[in-house]
Structure 1
Amino acid sequence: MTQVKYMRYGTKVERRDAAFFKEIQMKLYMHQAACSLSPHIIARELDLEVEIVPVERGTYRTADDTDYLAVNPNGYVPALVLDDGEVVLEGPAIVQRLAELRPQAGMMPQDLRARAQLQSLLNFISTELHKPMTQMFNPAYAPVRDVLQRHVAGRLNWVSTRLDVNPYLMGEAFSLADAYLFVCLNWCQWLGIDLSEWPRLVVFMLRVGKRPGVQAALAAEKLAPHSGGVFFAPQKAA
């Protein structure tokens, strides 16, 4: 059997049951408009050649009938498979791995203080926005939905202050954290969160949504602008 390297937040694990990774090209497994949109955006921003592979919810099958559970046994997206068969799981780890493939772009800071700040923001978005917002989509959490919404609102209060002066979370330059925040904020349209309560976040969405790399990722996932370009949703069939 072919050995495949797995990486999850920097920890390598070996699996031996994935022979289909032979002669692999770099692939990003995704769902439309899900958290996988964040690494999709980063790949476009970095001009990396990545094959975007949709995964069917529920069946865990891809368009070429691959069993996604052989890629990520947890079943959720995203997962990145590199040319050498290395598999990277978890969005914050994936975007950092992608940035390392284009170090000249400067999206993975070499300065230790800036890198710690970036990783802090990625972890904040992952735990304080991404997780509770996905729980709000899940009917099982309906009894505590109001609690989750208040939690998210409080965190949006804080993240909005990061944009008091600068256009992006890390300052003047677009970062890995900005792509992640953009994707999470886009879910507000489906969760009943009125983003107009945070005008800086509305401006942020408009600014990020105009970036060519972001537009390319949105177009590839067939996500069309609405609400004045603040949000992006699946295009309606003609």
Structure 2
Amino acid sequence: MKLYYSPGACSLADHIALIEANLSFEAVQVDLKAKTTADGANYRTINPKGYVPALGLDDGAVLTENIAILSYIADRAGGLAPGGALGCYRLLETLAYISTELHKSFKPFFSPGAKEEEKGKAREVLGKRFALFEDTLASQDQLFPEGFTVADCYLFTMLFWAKNKAEVAVPPRLSAYYERLSGRESIRKALADEGIV
């Protein structure tokens, strides 16, 4: 497999998940401005959308979008999804919330022409949306009682952005969760592999 990523982008979630799952993969850095891979290939021939992540499978198929890639990884790695009859649906529910309500709300921080007023509104929205996880983390260390899942990989990435790119106030339990996860081996390795200190 090949993970197409950009350092510190949302593809960090997939990078963490692949390491956590102990799946064999090659990480291929993408220049998102030039739309080229590290070896100069046209990235749009791999992912016509032009952004990361993309996961090239061994049979030549390519998956894009975090929800799809993280679900794929969870399906191939026992223990990275919650159990029970509704486990896979609860995972999709959480991934969808992170993608649509958190991830998309960061847009002003990555748009060169965004005004400070837009960023201020985004910080307010993100603060409210992050707060949803405070109750969850009152009784457990991760998002699901079964333990660490691919949803934790994605939420960690959003918290990384909140703390390092957007200066979003993070509620206390969520901040403690972020600090705990920062010490996790898979996360430390992914950050190091991407050159993020």
How would you bin the TM-score normalised by the shorter chain? over 0.9
Aligned residue number for residue 89 of structure 1: 64
Q: 1:16-71: CA deviations, max 9, x gaps?
A: xxxxxxxxxx1000000110000100000011111000001211111212111011
Q: Does 1:166 align with 2:140?
A: yes
- Whose RCO is larger (CA < 8 A, sep 6+)? 2
Q: Give the AA of the match of 1:216.
A: K
Question: Which of 172, 176, 182 lines up with 1:209 in the alignment?
Answer: 182
- CA–CA separation in structure 2 for the residues paired with 1:109 and 1:190: 30
Aligned residue number for residue 6 of structure 1: none
8 A contact 1:29–1:55 mirrored in 2? yes
8 A contact 2:53–2:66 mirrored in 1? yes
Q: Does 1:122 align with 2:95?
A: yes
TM-score (norm 2): 0.93
Larger radius of gyration: 1
Q: Does 1:58 align with 2:33?
A: yes
- CA–CA separation in structure 2 for the residues paired with 1:192 and 1:110: 35
SS in 1 for 2:48: coil
| Displacement after TM superposition at 1:125 (Å) | 0.4
Trace 1:71-220 onto structure 2 (pairs within 5 A): 71-102=46-77, 105-109=78-82, 111-142=84-115, 143-188=117-162, 189-195=164-170, 198-220=171-193
SS in 1 for 2:36: coil
Q: 1:203-235: CA deviations, max 9, x gaps?
A: 1111111111111111111222xxxxxxxxxxx
| Displacement after TM superposition at 1:110 (Å) | 5.5
- CA–CA separation in structure 2 for the residues paired with 1:61 and 1:147: 33
Q: Give the AA of the match of 1:136.
A: F
Q: Whose strand fraction is larger, Structure 1's or Structure 2's?
A: 1
8 A contact 1:137–1:191 mirrored in 2? no
- CA–CA separation in structure 1 for the residues paired with 2:167 and 2:180: 22
8 A contact 2:82–2:149 mirrored in 1? no
| Displacement after TM superposition at 1:137 (Å) | 2.5
- CA–CA separation in structure 2 for the residues paired with 1:207 and 1:178: 11
Q: Give the AA of the match of 2:28.
A: V
| Displacement after TM superposition at 1:135 (Å) | 3.1
| Displacement after TM superposition at 1:112 (Å) | 3.1
TM-score (norm 1): 0.78
Q: Give the AA of the match of 2:49.
A: N
SS in 2 for 1:54: strand
| Displacement after TM superposition at 1:147 (Å) | 2.2
